[in-house]
Amino acid sequence: MSTHSQVSSKAAARAYLAPHTIRVRRQQAIAKGVIWAAAGVTILTLVLIVGYILFNGFYTRKVQDFPVTPYVEERVPIAEDGTTMSIVVERSMRIRDITFPKLEEIYTGRLPFLGYLTTQNRQTTAVVYDGDGFAAKAEAFVLSEGRTFDFYGDDVTYAGSAEEIQSILAENDGTIALVPSEMAEGLRHGKVIGLLQSTVIVNPEILQLQGGRRLDHLKLGQVADLISGAAPAWSDVGGPGIVVQEQDLQNNIPGVYDPLPAVPVVPANPDALWAYFDDVYDDASDAPIRENAVTADGLDEYINTVMETPGAIGIIRTKEAMDRDLPILQVERITHWLNLRPQLLFHAPSRAGAVGGLSYIIINTLAMVLFVIVIATPIGVAAAIYLIEYSKQGRLVYLLRLGTDTLAGIPSIIFGLFGMVFFAQFLGFKTGLISGTLTLTLMILPTVIRTSEEALKSVPRDIRDGSLALGATKLQTIFRVVLPAASPGILTGVILGIGRAVGETAAILYTLGSNLALLHSINSPMRVLSVHLYMLIRENVSLPNAFAAATILVVIVFLVNYTTTRLIGRLNRMAGQ
């Protein structure tokens, strides 16, 4: 029909060239522009929202402060004799590198749970290779003087051979092992991760409060800027200056400061220390080290120089900074990884959802959907059958329709309150699966009834008449003839209802509950996807997991849309035949 009207409109426009044609054309252009723009805005909004959620659902990027620089080593020299150490972890662990302080925590027994490092629910099994004097060297490397492995616990396992380490790797999914580099590559069930163990140290004055401000971390690249002179003074990176006049808030006197130049301290000998400096620096910049650099020979002199030269900045091994309690600057680091992956769907959530996957949540959601279908479908379809097949148009039917329409317009929070008062308290079902399901049933009933009504209406009269003429009763006709013919339409209604139930939050927060556990009985309070998403955001538990949950919800919306469109298409084709 629109083709017809378009053609006729063009013909009409051509034939009718009155004086006001230009004005009409202009009006048309404006109207056309507005309408196309509106359509564009709608599509754009959808693409933006869905795209943003899906993108972040699958890909996570994080900027964090670390007490180490982003320089990663996989073969770490640990002794004068050239022994190098590698860190091997169980292969499926989601970790690419580890900072030195965390490594120390693990081997002193202070990090029994690896979840916050790997986002997986894993208990630490710390292992060290014990052969050729390696364990002693590793211990001397990892721990400060006077400490031994197991400082706080007795969890570190000494393994005498590669085979033993392999079997531990195979048995414990939280295994981390310190082994000689030559052994590392050959270990089955394991993978090598890098160590971050260089730290930016500064003159203590840099970390002092000045005018109410204090520098506590550097952005990426700022280390190199300070060393190369791209950022000549500390104030360029938010640091302090040389005091000319102290700030005085009482008398409203602002502080006045002169720029304090950054002074890189460079090791004199090309020894291990130099390697750190050079590598970290090279990672970030090609520019030459600025000319005011100070040279220092040997570790002690190096540290003394940094501590005593105003504005000094240097890079040393994290352990040396920790042992001497030196003033360090945190450095920002960007990490990124694949977020939504099969493991996330099949692993149990832990630590309020910060660690692990979504398996409980997904199973709970499925159970809820199952219950809602089982209760809502018969009631909804029966209501539709009554309205279409039995009732005569009149006041009663008008009233029934009015009821359905009103129910459809009631906000979900009201359903939630009603469910809480009526199902959970008045009927005594308590917060749990039954109250939640019944509340949701009421919510989706109008959708199911209306769609089923449409579906029943679309079944041609003749089919019914034919069946009745063959001697079938009305009920037989309905169940054997009408319902099968209308089933795609009814299914559409049910699927739309499921879509609504899965996305609902306000109505189930106080009826289904938010207890993060797997359902274990017919009426256990539990948490479903939408509530989990809300809780993750509300408690700021884990943004990546929140995006993953949101992505699953959006995918469900797409699935619902896809199936209903297909079903309606089929229904239309059937009605057409």
Residues 465-484 that bind other proteins (CB under 8 A): 473-475
* Binding of other proteins by 557 (CB under 8 A): yes
Give the residue with the Cβ less far from other proteins, 56 or 197: 56
Give the residue with the Cβ less far from other proteins, 251 or 291: 251
* Binding of other proteins by 256 (CB under 8 A): no
Give the residue with the Cβ less far from other proteins, 277 or 510: 510
- Shortest distance in whole angstroms from residue 182 CB to other proteins: 36
* Residue-by-residue DSSP string for 468-509: HHTT--HHHIIIIIIHHHHHHHHHHHHHHHHHHHHH--HHHH
For 7, the token pair is 């053609």
* Binding of other proteins by 406 (CB under 8 A): yes
Q: Beta partners for 88?
A: 177, 192
For 48, the token pair is 């933006």
- Report how far residue 108's alpha carbon sits from residue 153's, in angstroms, rounded to the nearest whole number: 7
* Binding of other proteins by 459 (CB under 8 A): no
| Helix pair angle (433-458, 483-503), 10° resolution | 140
Give the residue with the Cβ less far from other proteins, 461 or 520: 520
At 531, is the secondary structure helix, strand, or coil?
Answer: helix
Burial 550-571 (b: 16+ CB within 10 A, else e): bbbbbebeeebeebbeebbeeb
* Binding of other proteins by 24 (CB under 8 A): yes
- Shortest distance in whole angstroms from residue 17 CB to other proteins: 10
Q: Which of 152, 174, 492, 533 is nearest to 365 (CA)?
A: 533
Secondary structure letter of residue 386 according to DSSP: I
Q: Which stretch binds other proteins (CB under 8 A): 69-77, 183-191, 281-289, 558-566?
A: 558-566
Q: Which of 22, 35, 140, 338 binds other proteins (CB under 8 A)?
A: 35
- Shortest distance in whole angstroms from residue 241 CB to other proteins: 15
* Binding of other proteins by 517 (CB under 8 A): yes
Q: Which of 133, 426, 463, 470 binds other proteins (CB under 8 A)?
A: 426
Give the residue with the Cβ less far from other proteins, 41 or 140: 41
Q: Find the binding residues for other proteins in span 145-204 (CB under 8 A).
A: none
* Binding of other proteins by 2 (CB under 8 A): yes
The three state secondary structure string of 165-176 is HHHHHHHCCCEE
- Shortest distance in whole angstroms from residue 88 CB to other proteins: 24
Q: Which stretch binds other proteins (CB under 8 A): 7-15, 125-133, 168-176, 256-264?
A: 7-15
Give the residue with the Cβ less far from other proteins, 215 or 280: 215
The three state secondary structure string of 13-47 is HHHCCCCCHHHHHHHHHHHHHHHHHHHHHHHHHHH
Give the residue with the Cβ less far from other proteins, 214 or 573: 214
Q: Which of 533, 544, 545, 548 binds other proteins (CB under 8 A)?
A: 533
- Report how far residue 575's alpha carbon sits from residue 55's, in angstroms, rounded to the nearest whole number: 40
Burial 360-377 (b: 16+ CB within 10 A, else e): bbbebbebbbebbbebbb
